Amino acid sequence: MTVATGVGSMPGDDQDWFERAVRVVLDALPELPYLPEVPGRGPTATTTGRGLAVMSDLGADLQPAGWRLTDAAGIDHRRARSLLGQDLDGLEEQAQEYAGAFKIQVAGPWTLAATVEKPRGDKVLSDFGARRELAQALAEGVRMHVRDVRRRLPKVDRLVVQVDEPALAAVLEGRIPTASGFGRHRVVHPPEASDTLGWVLSAIADEGAEPWVHTCAAGTPLGLLRGAGARGLSVDLAMMSAADHDVLAEALEAGESVVLGVVPSLDPDTPPTDVQVVESVLRWLDMLGLDPESIGGSLAISPTCGLAGASDPWTRQVLALLRSSATNLSG
């Protein structure tokens, strides 16, 4: 059975929007709902702020140039943790009786390393020891986060943890700018990238959850993600290369999960119909030589990326469209 889900982010700029987003997701995506992210509430609610809120042992604070590691958690770091706890309280209140599969999201170690600065400036990415320490703190924090979510949602029988790595391709290609903006950080080689990501994915798997990796960026080596331990790949179908299609086919044949982003995440001039969405997925499966019935429940569909920049009406339309398309694909 093909299911519908979302990437994570939703529109809005205050806590009322978050609570509304939880209700919308639980109602519209009953097969695989997720903990909504509402980054419009400010830096503490962005992908980076959320990742730092989950991170264990290390402190951080918000500086004019962005997030920076510190000796102890600063006021903004404490606010990020408090906001995450508040969101989990809201989720628990609305979904405590929910039974089935559920998804949460967290920033990956390379995206954090590319967006967070060291205590004395410049990105964590610039220092081998710092990026290693950050990844290990994230892995330990994710363990605690998974346990907390399981405690709050005791009837969930399949917990998916989606690790968001939109910056990984740029890290591997040496495209992350230095603090001055005049240079670029050195390339990180694939073995290190795989090992570091693997710490986080292994921590998820060790807790009995299912590790997925999401990226909207072209050029992300999907084979590296699988090699690091990802058992689910969430991608924008339109951004995939021929090599990417091969990796996705291998994942499906191995019984791993693939989430195809097939509906625009921003309000389009002409919205697609569910017939068009279904046809695009079936054409893709046909191109790979895969029988839709042979892949069981391994395939899911989603928006192409997060919905934070979408209007509220389009967000609701996207989720309804995905659900009807998934039903038709399963029929």
| DSSP code of residue 223 | H
**Number of neighbouring beta carbons within 10 Å of residue 47:** 23
Q: What is the pLDDT of residues 154-210, one digit of tens each?
A: 999 999 999 999 999 999 999 999 887 788 999 999 999 999 999 999 999 999 999
H-only helix segments in the chain: 15-28, 47-54, 75-95, 109-115, 128-152, 168-172, 190-206, 222-228, 242-253, 274-288, 312-330
**Number of neighbouring beta carbons within 10 Å of residue 249:** 18
Position 190 scores a pLDDT of 97
Q: What is the dihedral of CA 44, 104, 231, 196, to 10 degrees?
A: 30
Q: What is the pLDDT of residues 138-159, one digit of tens each?
A: 999 999 999 999 999 999 999 9
Q: What is the pLDDT of residues 71-85, one digit of tens each?
A: 899 999 999 999 999
Q: What is the pLDDT of residues 199-248, one digit of tens each?
A: 999 999 999 999 999 998 999 999 999 999 999 999 999 999 999 999 99
Position 9 scores a pLDDT of 97
Position 293 scores a pLDDT of 83
Strand, coil or helix: 216: coil
Q: What is the pLDDT of residues 76-129, one digit of tens each?
A: 999 999 999 999 999 999 998 999 999 999 999 999 999 999 998 899 999 999
Provide the pLDDT confidence category of residue 282 given band limits of 50, 70 and 90. Answer: very high
Tokens coding 109: 């170690």
Looking at residue 117, its amino acid is E
Position 35 scores a pLDDT of 98
Report the predicted TM-score, pTM, of the whole model to 2 decimal places: 0.97
How far is residue 201's CA from residue 216's CA, in Å, rounded to a whole number? Answer: 19
Tokens coding 71: 């000796």
Query: Which of these, 157, 160, 31, 149, lies nearest to 105 by C-alpha position?
Result: 160
